[in-house]
Chains A and B, each alone.
Chain A
Amino acid sequence: RVSSDGKPEKFQPPPKPVIIDKQKQREERRFLSPEFIPPRGRTDPLKFYIERKDMIQRRKVFNIPEFYVGHVLAVTTADPYANEKASRFVGICIQRGGKGLGATFVLRNVIEDQGVEMCYELYNPRIQAIEVLKLEKRLDDNLMYLRDALPEYSTFDVNMKPMSRLDHEEVPVNKLQVRMKPKPWSKRWERPKYNIKGIKFDLPEKKMKEAQKWSQPWLEFDMLREYDTSKIEDKIWKEVSEGLKN
């Protein structure tokens, strides 16, 4: 380069490289398991506090991984009547229910053409290991409609290898639309009360319009039904992370 005043140019050092701290980015995404959030009601918060202490105690001893509905998990439980005193079940998580120590999750799989659903409690001391085999979120919070879907959507290989963990950034959402068996179903999934986005309905237009008769459009404007958990979640997140650090 030619300098304007003819003197030798001063040495300009190259710009410093920007270090993206991956650890900081990981901490920014916080996952609080839904069973920590207390339900809305008139119970004494002391009860939830004591339960949370017990839950943190259990989590210190046994690692419960972060998982959502739609993940494929493998659970090994202690079983006195099995060969190696442990039994393993692989399945897709279709629902997570309950709050506190009684929190459960239901795994579904189709074994030898028979659909099997197992409901496990997260804090059961008989559970020896929970492994996440496949990480993917689905469009809904509740995949009970897999009971009425074609069996190919619920079959998972029992000897599946755990998928390689991605960057701890986002959990991928699988926008799969599931095809159903012919009606009758166990529940009328086309009704707006279930609010299911993950089914490919092959019903005629008339049936879909008739199902919309049961929609309640005023429900989303009913302000007193909303339960804002952001502040509660912040407090509980602090408590849980303090407890787990020790």
Chain B
Amino acid sequence: MRLSVPAAISHGRVYRRLGLGPRSRLDLLRNLVTALVRHERIEAPWARADEMRGYAEKLIEYAKLGDTNERAMRMADFWLTEKDLIHKLFKVLAPRFQPHPGSYTRLLQIPNRDGLDRAKMAVIELKGNPFPPLIRPHRDSEKTLLNQLLKGYREDLQWAPKGTPV
């Protein structure tokens, strides 16, 4: 007995349903990708930023293939609606990410949106962007007991004459 899969069950489906349909979903993501390439750090609803991340990284991988590659040019032409960004993608972003093998973006969550919908927001940025960093890693304070003991040990190593055990 052959039962066709009802559309409501989504076992194993990886694409989220955004916008009005598959075309609209790609258009939405395309606008976000263009904005990311232009501003290098944008705020967007978390679901859209997450979908967009995969496409942005694939686009940079295509850009790494080079300017002369026909397929890469067609992809960049489709995905970037503002045509001056194609030049930026191939000449600025591709050399910047040439040494890295993958993961060119960073996705961080933000407090919920202020409007009525209280949507889960995220900020997505390209690594190596010129803005100040979003997370500042804190070093442990020097005044804790463990750090004071370690500091004392290091000083003893420095000042003890050579050969004597510390």
Interface residues of A (CB under 8 A from B): 41, 216, 218, 221-224
Closest B residue to A218 by beta carbon equals B26
- The residues of A that contact B23 with a CB separation of less than 8 Å are 216, 218
Q: Which residue of A lies closest to B62 (CB)?
A: A223
Closest to B79 in A: A221
Enumerate chain B residues within 8 angstroms of A216, measured Cβ to Cβ.
22-23
| A170 → B minimal CB distance (Å) | 24
Write the residues of chain B forming the contact surface with A, with a CB cutoff of 8 angstroms. Answer: 12, 14-15, 22-23, 26, 54-55, 58-59, 62, 74-75, 78-79
> Hey, which chain A residues are within 8 Å of B78, CB to CB?
221
Q: How far is the CA of A142 from the CA of B125 in the complex (A)?
A: 44
**Least distance between B39 CB and chain A CB atoms (Å):** 21
**Residue of A with least CB distance to B54:** A224
Taking each of A41, A216, A223, which has the highest tally of chain B beta carbons within 10 Å of its own beta carbon?
Answer: A223
The secondary-structure label for the interface of chain A is helix
Partner pick for A224 among B22, B58, B62, B79, CB 8 A cutoff: B58
Kindly provide the distance from the CB of A44 to the nearest chain B CB, expressed in whole angstroms: 16
Question: What total count of A-B pairs have CB within 8 Å?
Answer: 23
Q: Are A218 and B22 in contact, CB atoms less than 8 angstroms apart?
A: yes
Tell me if B59 and A223 are in contact (CB < 8 A): yes
Within the complex, what minimum Cβ distance (angstroms) separates B16 from chain A?
A: 12
Whether B22 lies near A223 (C-beta < 8 A) is: no
Which chain A residues lie closer than 8 Å to B62 at the CB level?
223
Which single residue of chain A is at the shortest CB-CB distance from B56? A223
The 6 closest A-B pairs by CB, nearest first: A223-B58, A221-B78, A218-B26, A224-B54, A218-B23, A223-B55
A224 touches B26 (CB 8 A): no
Is A221 in contact with B26, judged by CB distance below 8 angstroms? yes
Q: How far is the CA of A218 from the CA of B23 in the complex (A)?
A: 7
Q: In the complex, A222 Cα to B30 Cα: how many Å?
A: 10
For the complex with contacts A218-B22, A221-B79, A224-B14, 10 further pairs of A-B residues with Cβ separation under 8 Å are: A41-B12, A218-B26, A221-B26, A221-B74, A223-B54, A223-B58, A223-B75, A224-B54, A224-B55, A224-B58
A41 to B74, CA, bound (A): 28
Are the C-beta atoms of A222 and B59 separated by less than 8 Å? no
Task: Identify the closest chain B residue to A42 (Cβ).
Answer: B12
Chain A residues with Cβ below 8 Å from B75 are 221, 223
* Chain A residues whose CB sits within 8 angstroms of the CB of B74 once the complex forms: 221
Bound-state CA distance A104–B2 (Å) is: 20
A222 to B26, CA, bound (A): 8
* Interchain residue pairs with CB less than 8 A apart (23): A41-B12, A216-B22, A216-B23, A218-B22, A218-B23, A218-B26, A221-B26, A221-B74, A221-B75, A221-B78, A221-B79, A222-B26, A223-B54, A223-B55, A223-B58, A223-B59, A223-B62, A223-B75, A224-B14, A224-B15, A224-B54, A224-B55, A224-B58
- Min Cβ gap A39→B in Å is 11
CA distance A218 to B78 in the complex (A): 9
Which B residue's beta carbon lies closest to that of A221? B78
Bound-state CA distance A17–B22 (Å) is: 61
Q: Give the Cβ gap from B127 to chain A, nearest Cβ, in Å.
A: 20
Q: Given the complex of chains A and B, what is the CA–CA distance between A9 and B30 in angstroms?
A: 75
> What residues of A have a CB within 8 angstroms of the CB of B55 in the complex?
223-224
Q: Which residue of A lies closest to B15 (CB)?
A: A224
Alpha-carbon distance A218/B55, docked complex (angstroms): 14
How far is A223 from B23 in the complex, measured between Cα atoms in Å? 14
Q: Which residue of B lies closest to A217 (CB)?
A: B23
Task: Determine the chain B residues whose CB is within 8 A of the CB of A222 once the complex forms.
Answer: 26
Residues of A within 8 A of B26 (CB): 218, 221-222
In the bound complex, what is the Cα–Cα distance between A22 and B70 (angstroms)?
34
Q: Give the complex CA separation of A129 and B79 in angstroms.
A: 51
Complex Cα spacing A218 to B22, Å: 9
A225 nearest in chain B by CB position: B15
Query: Chain A's nearest CB lies how many Å from the CB of B27?
Result: 8
